[in-house]
Amino acid sequence: MEIIYLIIGIVLGFGIGYLLLRNQSSSRLSDLLSQKNVADEKANNLLSQKQKLEGESTAQQQIILSLTSENSSSKNKLENLDRRL
């Protein structure tokens, strides 16, 4: 009879231990998944900020090129007017 109690105790111990470990691993897994989701969201935000900054940089470069062209044109006009005088 004691052997039956011993076997039942061992089986119950393994069962309870298994359930506890499974519960702990699932909570760890959910923590890791939430951390991954936060990291993915941050990465997406940084990517969108990078794209926005690249767009603004390109627009500013276009403005600089346009102003440089206007400046050169104005200098040429001024030199031509100085020659006429």
At 18 the pLDDT is 83
Q: How many other C-beta atoms can be found within 10 angstroms of the C-beta atom of residue 5? A: 9
In angstroms, the CA 45 to CA 39 distance is: 10
**20 or 43, which is more confident?**
43
Q: How far is residue 72's CA from residue 1's CA, in Å, rounded to a whole number?
A: 105
pTM of the model: 0.57
What pLDDT does residue 6 have? Answer: 83
**pLDDT tens track for 59-80:** 999 999 999 999 999 999 999 9
